[in-house]
Every structure is written in C-alpha cells, then in structure tokens.
C-alpha cells in the first residue's frame, strides 16, 4: 500500500533561517503532491500543490520541489518567522483529483526569535 | 464566503453507542472528504463523496459510514463506538475542476469515547 513519510517529527530553527522539510513516499506514483499547514486545534490549511511534471513551485517565501525519481518532495520556508511555527503535512492523492489524500504524520516546526 | 463548518465541535459518547457528525461545505463545493486524526496514526482518509455518491473509501471498518445530500452537506456515522474511535474528525470540501484541487478543511469535531 502507499506509504508517505516525513523524516523529522520536529525541527527547531532560528528566525531568518531557511527551514527545509522532507517528504518521501513509496509504492505509488502520485500525479500530485500537496503541502498543508496545521495549527493546534485547527484543521489543515492548504499551502501548495505540485504536479508530477513540475520540478519546483514557489509562493512567496515557500518553495516546493518534487523529484519523482527519488520519490521525494522538499518544502522550504525562507526567512522563517516565529509565525511560521506549526505542523506541516505532506499529502499525496490516491484518486488523481486531490480529494482522497494520504498524509504524512507531519513535521512540527518551531522558529525561535 | 463562509468556510467549512462542522457540528458539533465536541462530543462525548460511551462505548457501544453510535454518533453522527455533520459537515457543511463551502458554497459551490460538491466534493466532501472525511478524515480521522489521532496522535498515533495522524490524518487518515475515511471516504469522499461527490454528487451524493461515495467515490473513494479508505481502509476503515464498515462501522464508519457516510452520506451526502443534494445540497452537498454531508454526514458521517460511526456505529458501535470503540475507545479507539476517539479522535478529531475533519471534513474537507473541494471545488471540482480540471485536475487536482486543494481541499478546504473545517475545524473538526473532537469525539471522545469513554
């Protein structure tokens, strides 16, 4: 069955640095991969979607890469701020439409000032 | 535009009982997906409904069921509750179009089974 892993449960960095989160998957070739942010007590919030034929996607301070050969996605937050502290979830879809997602367990990012 | 709403927000039930959770998607969204989130297993896909039909189903026992109404609102039901069903149940809606779309999550219903 499909498996998705985020290599770190927690990541602590200083304000202004770049945070890099890793997502690896096996037993599947997704057409899309998504990243979400979740704050305590709230539902996940969509950040970025990247397609299998896209190598990289950017949105403001966020950048996602997608390597279908390595079966890996990297998520970067540049010039990190304390407000970026949250849990970040990687998800791949199992129905090619993005409405049936398998999520990694998340990486909790803490940015200290 | 109002976001995804879920009711109730908190619920306490006893083992063996059944429970029904409700989800109202964003206006115009016709796809509703349900997820279970626990500290141990993380977010797990339950099922997805589109135009009142279940299109996809995750790996959960038959005690978990759902339905969608003509106005796209959705309910999920869990029968014969077990302690392990204690979790945050999240629903998400999507505006279906060409290719994959992002999901908009509600705040969740926190279910505690005692």
Which pLDDT does position A65 carry in this prediction? 96
Compute the average pLDDT of residues A92-109: 86
Which residues does B102 contact at the CB level (< 8 Å), separation at least 6? Answer: A34, A46, A49, A98, B94
Given a cut of 80, is residue A84 above it in pLDDT?
yes
Compute the average pLDDT of residues B30-42: 94
Question: What does each C-alpha distance from A45 to A35, A39, A90, B64, B70 come to in angstroms?
Answer: 9, 9, 12, 25, 26
Whose tokens are 């069921």? That residue is: B65
Q: How close A25 gets to chain B, by Cα (Å)? A: 15
Given a cut of 80, is residue A95 above it in pLDDT?
no
A24-38, B8-22, B51-65, B86-100 — which is least confidently predicted? B86-100
Arithmetic mean of pLDDT over chain B: 94
Helix (H, G, I), strand (E, B) or coil at B7: strand
Residue ranges of alpha helices (H) inside chain B are none
Which pLDDT does position A67 carry in this prediction? 92
Given a cut of 60, is residue B98 above it in pLDDT?
no
Q: Name the pLDDT band for B101 (thresholds 50, 70, 90).
A: confident
Q: Name the pLDDT band for B95 (thresholds 50, 70, 90).
A: confident
Instruction: Tell whether B97 is within 8 A of chain A (Cβ).
Output: no
Instruction: Report pLDDT digits (tens) over A5-29.
Output: 997 889 999 999 999 999 999 888 8
Instruction: Report pLDDT digits (tens) over B47-73.
Output: 999 999 999 899 999 999 999 999 999
Query: CB–CB of B103 and A89 under 8 A?
Result: no
Query: CB–CB of A99 and B102 under 8 A?
Result: no
Question: What does each C-alpha distance from B57 to A60, A69, A105, B25, B104 come to in angstroms?
Answer: 35, 28, 20, 19, 19
Compute the average pLDDT of residues B23-40: 94
Which pLDDT does position A42 carry in this prediction? 93
Which pLDDT does position A6 carry in this prediction? 92
Which pLDDT does position B69 carry in this prediction? 97
Instruction: Report pLDDT digits (tens) over A48-70.
Output: 999 888 989 999 999 999 998 99
Residues of B with Cβ-Cβ distance to A32 under 8 angstroms: 99-100
Q: How far apart are CA B50 and CA B96, in angstroms?
A: 9
């Amino acid at each position: 069955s499909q498996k998705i892993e985020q290599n770190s449960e927690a990541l602590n960095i200083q304000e202004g640095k770049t945070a890099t989160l890793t997502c690896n998957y096996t037993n599947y070739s997704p057409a899309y991969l998504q990243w979400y942010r979740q704050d305590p007590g709230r539902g996940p919030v969509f950040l970025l979607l990247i397609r299998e034929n896209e190598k990289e996607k950017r949105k403001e301070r966020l950048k996602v890469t997608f390597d279908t050969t390595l079966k890996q996605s990297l998520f970067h937050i540049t010039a990190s701020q304390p407000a970026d502290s949250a849990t970040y979830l990687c998800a791949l879809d199992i129905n090619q439409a993005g409405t049936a997602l398998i999520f990694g367990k998340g990486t909790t990012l803490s940015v200290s000032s | 535009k109002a976001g995804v709403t879920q009711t109730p927000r908190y619920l306490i039930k006893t083992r063996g009982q059944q429970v029904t959770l409700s989800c109202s998607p964003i206006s115009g969204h016709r796809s509703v997906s349900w997820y279970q989130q626990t500290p141990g297993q993380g977010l797990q896909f339950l099922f997805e409904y589109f135009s009142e039909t279940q299109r996809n189903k995750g790996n959960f026992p038959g005690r978990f069921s759902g339905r969608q109404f003509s106005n796209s609102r959705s309910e999920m039901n869990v029968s014969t509750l077990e302690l392990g069903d204690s979790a945050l149940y999240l629903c998400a809606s999507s505006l279906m179009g060409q290719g994959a779309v992002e999901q908009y999550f509600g705040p969740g219903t926190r279910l505690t089974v005692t």
